[in-house]
Amino acid sequence: MPLPSMTPEQRKAALEKAAEARKARTALLDSLRSGKAKLSEVLHKAKSDPIAGKTKVSQLLRAVPGIGPAKVSALMDEIGIDPDRRAGGLGDRQRQQLATAVG
């Protein structure tokens, strides 16, 4: 299926929108890394915030200090979360289990 053709103005607007989303996602992950935000808060916010909701759960977990790739994989397997799952697609039970496991 071919991509729809876009005018140069539409392409520029789409690129700017994507750049803003990347900046917002980076700020979200940095707030987790620095301890300004808790994982439970970000997961709760993912229901209504499109930036938090579209961020992969594995990215959020890796941003938490003290959690590396191996621990992320083990935790997601234990809870039953697909590696490609985004935070907005988590169920209430999965959010609760992640928040409890991470602290």
* pLDDT at position 5 over 90: no
Domain boundaries, the chain: 8-102
Model pLDDT, residue 18: 94
Model pLDDT, residue 75: 93
* pLDDT at position 24 over 90: yes
Model pLDDT, residue 82: 92
Arithmetic mean of pLDDT, 65-82: 92
* pLDDT at position 27 over 90: yes
Whether 38 and 45 have beta carbons less than 8 Å apart is answered as no
pTM of this structure: 0.84
- Out of 1.10.8.50, 3.30.930.10, 3.40.50.1100, 3.40.50.300, which CATH number does the structure's domain 8-102 have? 1.10.8.50
* pLDDT at position 6 over 90: no
Locate 67 and state its tokens.
């959690």
Assign 13 a pLDDT band (cuts: 50, 70, 90): very high
Helices (H), 35-68: 39-45, 50-53, 57-63
Model pLDDT, residue 93: 93
Arithmetic mean of pLDDT, 31-58: 92
